[in-house]
Amino acid sequence: MTWVRRLRGAVAEHGRLCVGIDPHPGLLDAWGLGDTVDGLGSFSNACVEAFAGHVGIVKPQVAFFERFGSAGIAVLERTIAGLRSAGTLVLSDAKRGDIGTTLDAYASAWLGSTSPLRSDAVTLSPYLGVGALAPAIERAAAHQSGVFVLARTSNADGTAVQTAVDSGGVSVAQHVVDEAARWNAGLGDETVGLVVGATRGHGLDVTAFGGPILAPGLGAQGATVLDLAEIFPDTRELLLPSSSRDILRYGPATADLRAAAHRVRDDVERALS
C-alpha cells in the first residue's frame, strides 16, 4: 500500500492530528524522570503505550534522541518499531538535507526497508536545492514512503530566507511548493509533502499542490485550532496539524496522555469540518 493510501486510512480512522514526541530536558524533569537515557526510555515507552494504535501519525523529534548518542538512537529504534507495529504512522522529524550519495545514505537510514530506523516518512530541508533531494524522493517512492519538505516553517527566524524572491518575484518558499507539486505530478503520487507552519499566514499558493501538509506550531508555539481554517482555507483533507508539548505536558500517565491527544484531535476535526 502506498504512503498516501496509508496516510488517508490513518486520517479516516484517527483524524488529522500529528502528535510529536519531544523528550527535551524540561519535559523529562516535569515527568519526574532524569535527563538520562533511562529517563528517555521511560518517556518514550509511555508515549508508545499512549499513542500506538490510538493516534494516526506520530512525529518523534530525532534530535532529542540523538543527544544521548547510540543509546538514544536505540531508544528511538524501539519507539519507531513499537508505534509502527501497532499501525501508527511514524514521521521522523530529522530535517535531513545534503547532496548526492550523502543524502541517499540519509534516505536509506530513515526510509530503507531493512533499516532499524525505518519510518513511514521523514522531514527534509531543501536549502541545498530542491533538486538535490532527488535521491530521497526517489527512494521514498520506491519504498512506498513519504517525505515532507520544509517550505514555510513556524519559526520567525526563517522568514527572511523563505520569503526572499527571485528575479521573477517568486519566493523561495513558493518555489519549494511548486517543485514539490512537479515531483508529485511526475511520480503520479503524493510522495512529497510540505512543512508549512500554522503560526502565521504563509502567503503561499498551494492550490496546485495536492499532497499532505504538515502544519507545526499548534499549542505551545501559539497556533490554535481556529487558526487552521483561516490559514489553510483550501487545504484540509491531508492537512496534518502537529502538537507536541501541549499534549506531552499531561504525562506521564498513559491515560492522561491519550485523553489529551484525543481532545486536541477532536478540536482539530471540528475546526476543519
Confidence of residue 230 (pLDDT cuts 50, 70, 90): confident
How confident is the model at residue 229, as a pLDDT?
A: 86
How confident is the model at residue 137, as a pLDDT?
A: 97
Q: Is the pLDDT of residue 42 over 80?
A: yes
What 3-state class would DSSP assign to 194? strand
How confident is the model at residue 238, as a pLDDT?
A: 94
Of 221 and 41, which is predicted with more confidence? 41
Confidence of residue 201 (pLDDT cuts 50, 70, 90): confident
Mean pLDDT for 167-182 is: 96
Q: Is the pLDDT of residue 114 over 90?
A: yes
Cα–Cα dist 256/46, whole Å: 11
How high is the mean pLDDT of the chain? 95
Task: Give the helix/strand (H/E) hosting 102.
Answer: helix 100-111
* CA-to-CA separations, 204 to 146, 148, 152, 190, in angstroms, rounded: 22, 16, 8, 18
Q: Is the pLDDT of residue 22 over 90?
A: yes
Mean pLDDT for 127-156 is: 95
Spot the catalytic one: 8, 24, 67, 95. Answer: 95
How confident is the model at residue 35, as a pLDDT?
A: 97
Q: Is the pLDDT of residue 191 over 80?
A: yes
How confident is the model at residue 184, as a pLDDT?
A: 96
Cα–Cα dist 247/262, whole Å: 9
All domains of the chain in start order, with CATH: 3-272 (3.20.20.70)
167 Cβ neighbours under 8 A, 6+ residues apart: none
Q: Is the pLDDT of residue 234 over 90?
A: no
Contact status, residue 46 vs residue 254, Cβ threshold 8 Å: yes
Cα–Cα dist 257/250, whole Å: 6
Q: Is the pLDDT of residue 217 over 90?
A: no
How confident is the model at residue 88, as a pLDDT?
A: 98
Active site residue 59: no
How confident is the model at residue 72, as a pLDDT?
A: 98
